[in-house]
Amino acid sequence: MAHLFPFQAYRYNRQIVPDLGRVVTQPYDKISPEMQEEYYRRSPYSVVQITRSLEKNQNPDTKYPAAAATLRRWIEQGLLIQDPQPAIYVYYQDYETDGETKIRKGFITLLDLKRSASGILPHERTLAGPKMDRLQLMRSTECNDDLIFMLYNDDRLAVNRILDVQASGCAPEIEVKDDFGALHRVWSVTDRSAIETIQEAMAAQELFIADGHHRFETSLNYMRECEAKGWAPAGLESFDKRMVACFNTAGQGITILPTHRLVRDLPQFDSRAFLKAAGRYFDSKEEPSAEALWAAMKEGRRLVHIFGFYPEDTRRFYSLRLKEEARRDPLTPAHGEAYQDLDVSILHTVVLEKLLGIDEAKLVAQAHVDFARDRDACIRRVNEGKYQAGFFLNPTSVEQVQRVASLGGRMPQKSTDFYPKLLTGLLFMKMKISKP
C-alpha cells in the first residue's frame, strides 16, 4: 500500500528569484560537467550549489557541510520560504517527442517510508558509489531537494481527474521550461477533501520506481541510521518520509528513452575480432550511415533484438541482430523470462560479459563502461578517442519495466531513461528531527 501525505514544502521566493529557469536543474546524475559549469554560471542561487559541488571542491570533509550551510543560509535569508499549509502538489510536464506533443500528469507528495517500503517495486540494480554520495549529502542537509519518480497504474484515471479539476481555471504557481524544451507546471492542493480522495485512491496502488533507485535506497538507509541513533521525527516532514512524484502509466504521457553504452580501456580491443566473435550470437551488417543504423534499429525492434555498434578503430556503423538460434537458448539462465526478453539484458550478458569480458563486478566498480542518452554525443566521444566503441539500444517499454518489477526482478543499471526528467529545486522538504 502507498501511504502518502501532504506537506509544507519550501520553494524559491519569487521576489528574490523571479526566473526559476536559472536555478532549477536536471537530476544530479544527469548533470554533465559542462551542464554543471553552466548551472553555476547562471545563478549563485542554483540548486546545484547544494546537490553537486564543482570538481575543485570535492573534499568530502568540506563539500557536504558546505552544501548544508548554503541551504541553511538560504532559508535564513528568505530565499527559500515554506508554504503556510500542507499540500499535495499537482505536477504537469508538457513536452514533445518524435513530433508528438504529450502531457505527463502527476503529483508531488510525501511517501511514508516505513509503512510503504515493502510495497515499492524497484526495477534496476544500484551502485554503491552514488548511494554513499547521496547519503553523505542527506546527513548534512537533512533535506530532500529532488524527487523520486514513481509510477502506478490506474486505467480508471481516478486521480488524474482530480488533478485536472485542481489545475483547471487557475494559473500554475510554478511554471518553468527546462533546457530540453519541456514545460513544468505546479499547483498546490490544500483542499482537505481533494487530498483525502487522492490518498484513498492511491492506498491500494503498487508503486514502481521509474527514476531514483539510488535515492530511494539512500532514504531507507538514512531512516535506519537515524533510528539507530535514537532520533525521532519531530513533525510530518522528517527522515521517515520521502518526497516523491507519482505518475499514472495509463495516462498516455510516459516516454522512455534508451541509455547507450560507451566502452573504454579494454586491452587490445579490435572491432574486426569482436565482430567475428559476435557472429556466434548475431548477424552483423555494415550500415552506410548513422541515419541508416537508426532506421534499421527502429524498423527491427518489433521483430528482433537489434543493437547498434560504432567502433573507434574503423568509425563504421554496424547493426547486430540476435540470431534466432541464440534467442532459443537461455542467454541469462539465472534470471526469469521477463529479464531475458530485455535488449539491455542481452547487451549486458552477451556483448559486455561474454564477448568483452566486462562482468558484473567490473560494472559495479564502474570500470570500462559509461552511459549516455544522446546518440550523436556517443559518436562524437568515440571519434575524439575517449572511447573504443559505442553500443546503441532501442528503448525499454513501460510494460517491460512493470513486468520485471512485479516479478521481483532487477534490470541492469541505466536500463531506462524516463523523459522528461523531474526538475530538481522545484520544491524542498526540510526534515524536522528530534535528537536526544
Provide the whole-model pTM: 0.86
Cis peptide, bond prior to residue 288, ω within 30 of zero? no
Q: What is the CA radius of gyration of the chain?
A: 23
Which amino acid is residue 12, in one-letter code?
Y
Neighbours of 436 (CB within 10 A): 6
In the structure grid, which three cell numbers stand for residue 149, read together?
Answer: 519518480
Q: Residue 53: its pLDDT value, please?
A: 76
The Cα–Cα gap between 265 and 269 comes to: 9
How high is the pLDDT of residue 86?
98
Residues near 361 by Cβ (< 8 Å), separated by ≥ 6?
A: none
Cell of 426: 522545484
Here the cell at position 181 is 524544451
Side chain identity, residue 88: I
d(C-alpha 206, C-alpha 151), whole Å: 8
**Helix ranges restricted to H, 372-430:** 375-383, 398-406
Strand partners, 101: 96
The count of other CB atoms within 10 Å of the CB of residue 236 is: 16
d(CA 84, CA 147): 21
Give the separation between CA 108 and CA 217, rounded to whole angstroms. Answer: 19
CA distance 26 to 229: 33
Q: How many CA atoms lie within 13 A of 180 on its CB side?
A: 19
Query: Cα separation of 337 and 354, whole Å?
Result: 19
Are residues 46 and 52 in contact, defined by beta-carbon separation less than 8 angstroms? no
Please report the domains of the chain, with CATH numbers, ordered by start residue. 4-255+420-434 (no CATH), 259-394 (3.30.1760)
Q: In which residue ranges of the chain is pLDDT below 50? A: none
Enter the C-alpha cell of residue 1.
Answer: 500500500
- In this predicted structure, what is the pLDDT of residue 297? 96
Q: Which residues of 313-338 are buried (b: 16+ CB within 10 A; e: fewer)?
A: eeeebbbbbbbeebeeeebbeebeeb
Q: How far apart are CA 187 and CA 175, in angstroms?
A: 9
Q: 3-state DSSP helix/strand/coil percent for the chain, to nearest 5?
A: 40, 25, 35
Question: What gap in Å lies between CA 364 and CA 355, rounded to an integer?
Answer: 18
In DSSP terms, 240 is beta-bridged to none
The stretches of 147-212 forming alpha helices (DSSP H) are 158-167, 192-202
Give the per-residue pLDDT at 200. 96
The gap from C-alpha 427 to its chain's centroid, in whole angstroms, comes to: 17
3 state SS of 345: helix
* 411 neighbors 339 (Cβ within 8 angstroms): yes
Helix (H) or strand (E) holding 216: helix 213-228
Under 8 Å between Cβ of 50 and 145: yes
Nearest to 223 by CA among 143, 79, 113: 113
What is the C-alpha to C-alpha distance for residues 216 and 244, in angstroms, rounded to an integer? 9
- Whether residue 106 contacts residue 91, with contact meaning beta carbons closer than 8 Å, is answered with yes
- Helices 128-141 and 213-228 pack at an angle, to 10 degrees, of 50
The pLDDT score that the predictor gives to residue 58 is 67
Region of residue 258 (phi > 0: left; psi between -120 and 50: alpha; otherwise: beta): beta
Residue 400 is placed in which grid cell?
517491460
